[in-house]
């Protein structure tokens, strides 16, 4: 049985590892990059707390002893479902079973100016670009004489009050409070403003009321300007325009206001629902297909407990992949008693800063905040990171940062940044 998995995120990698060395099953794992990136800590790469290599794990290393899993570095271009094959940027690959684990990409809601000017943060490369931008702004600010332009350089706007926006805002605030004044003594950081703009009435809207209230209080404690019920209409590279007519002068906007599924070409549009997710049944089988499955953030599955679909969390993707692997092994053995998926919510969490975090556990219903929640958050993330070496370096960096109030990775790589921007420009021209 030839299983082709597209996407090596939490779901795709978990499925490949669960099918590793299973007799009678051949696995091809396809991804655009040759590493698995631990996305929950991308914001720490962007704010110089961690090195990119600390949260990245080579895919081939995970399968050194594998007899049946093979890696292909390519991008999915199109599905030809009638012929049971896919077309990638490198080759055509036939399949008996296809699993789409492509995840999501940043949703700019069709605004091209935001695409061109705002910074997303869905990949390691984007996190490094953001780091470069932040540090370069302060280097430029040292030479600026115009007060209005200086304020633009020192204002940072984060759009989206979910976990990514909250964690990033808190990390930026700690840089402002502890690190940047030592790096740039010529600048007055009391004039630096970090704005967190959220369209709904609260931060961490997917978590409990207590967590939302705690996160709001923690952000204010760190000096973040939190504006709820605030929508962004545009950003031209110099000014953030709000839907209520307000304007925030800034050269840096970080967009964490939403995601959409990465839907490949070759599928009927009727299969796509809100958020660009694909309709699947309780076994993650794509609607109208018998041999195509979708897992993770791209999958839209309605259940009695989740009539609007599951939350787009790593834990959902991991649990779906685990069950799908069990069902595939059963299929290989001609056992058609497949299990239906039921998500077991073990809890959600977010960190705002040093000793400041929130944790919600549904059963039993518990809420933790502050230092205890921060320890829980750190412990879980260390467990989930792939590789003993990565865990060691992440833990070492956290200990160093905690006792020194410093991040040691504030490096600028101009050539990398310029090359990446040139390649992005070329891609946009080709599109």
Catalytic residues: 167
Residues in the chain: 431
CA distance 336 to 343: 21
159 within 8 A of 165, measured Cβ to Cβ: yes
Tell me how far CA of residue 170 lies from CA of 44, 114, 185, 319, 391, in angstroms: 11, 23, 22, 30, 23
Unique residue bearing structure tokens 């940072």: 156
């Amino acid at each position: 049985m030839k299983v082709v998995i597209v996407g090596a995120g939490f779901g795709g990698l978990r499925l490949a590892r669960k099918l590793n060395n299973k007799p009678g099953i051949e696995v091809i794992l396809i991804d655009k990059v040759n590493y698995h990136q631990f996305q929950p800590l991308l914001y720490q790469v962007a704010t110089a707390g961690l090195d990119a290599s600390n949260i990245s794990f080579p895919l081939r290393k995970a399968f050194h002893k594998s007899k049946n899993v093979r890696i292909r570095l390519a991008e999915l271009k199109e599905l030809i479902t009638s012929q049971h094959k896919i077309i990638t940027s490198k080759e055509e690959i036939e399949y008996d079973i296809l699993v789409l684990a492509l995840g999501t990409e940043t949703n700019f809601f069709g605004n091209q100016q935001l695409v061109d000017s705002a910074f997303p943060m869905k990949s390691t490369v984007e996190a490094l670009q953001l780091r470069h931008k932040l540090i370069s702004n302060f280097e430029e600010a040292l030479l600026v004489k115009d007060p209005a332009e200086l304020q633009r350089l020192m204002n940072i706007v984060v759009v989206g009050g979910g976990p990514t926006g909250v964690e990033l805002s808190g990390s930026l605030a700690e840089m402002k409070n502890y690190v940047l004044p030592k790096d740039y003594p010529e600048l007055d950081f009391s004039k630096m403003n970090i704005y967190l703009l959220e369209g709904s009435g609260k931060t961490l809207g997917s978590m409990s009321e207590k967590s939302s209230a705690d996160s709001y209080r923690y952000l204010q404690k760190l000096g973040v300007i939190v504006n709820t019920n605030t929508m962004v209409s545009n950003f031209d590279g110099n000014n953030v325009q709000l839907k209520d007519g307000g304007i925030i002068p800034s050269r840096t906007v970080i967009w964490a206001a939403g995601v959409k599924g990465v839907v490949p070409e070759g599928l009927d549009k009727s299969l796509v629902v809100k958020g660009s997710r694909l309709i699947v049944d309780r076994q993650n089988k794509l609607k109208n297909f018998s041999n195509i499955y979708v897992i993770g953030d791209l999958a839209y599955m309605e259940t009695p407990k989740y009539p609007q679909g599951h939350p787009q969390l790593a834990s959902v993707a991991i649990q779906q992949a685990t069950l799908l692997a069990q069902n595939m092994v059963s299929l290989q053995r001609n056992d058609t008693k497949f299990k239906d998926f039921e998500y077991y919510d073990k809890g959600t969490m977010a960190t705002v800063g040093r000793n400041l975090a929130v944790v919600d556990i549904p059963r039993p219903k518990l809420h933790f905040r502050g230092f205890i929640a921060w320890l829980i958050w750190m412990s879980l993330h260390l467990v989930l990171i792939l590789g003993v070496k990565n865990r060691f370096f992440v833990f070492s960096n956290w200990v160093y940062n905690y006792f020194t109030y410093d991040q040691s990775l504030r490096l600028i790589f101009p050539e990398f940044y310029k090359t990446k921007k040139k390649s992005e420009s070329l891609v946009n021209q080709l599109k």
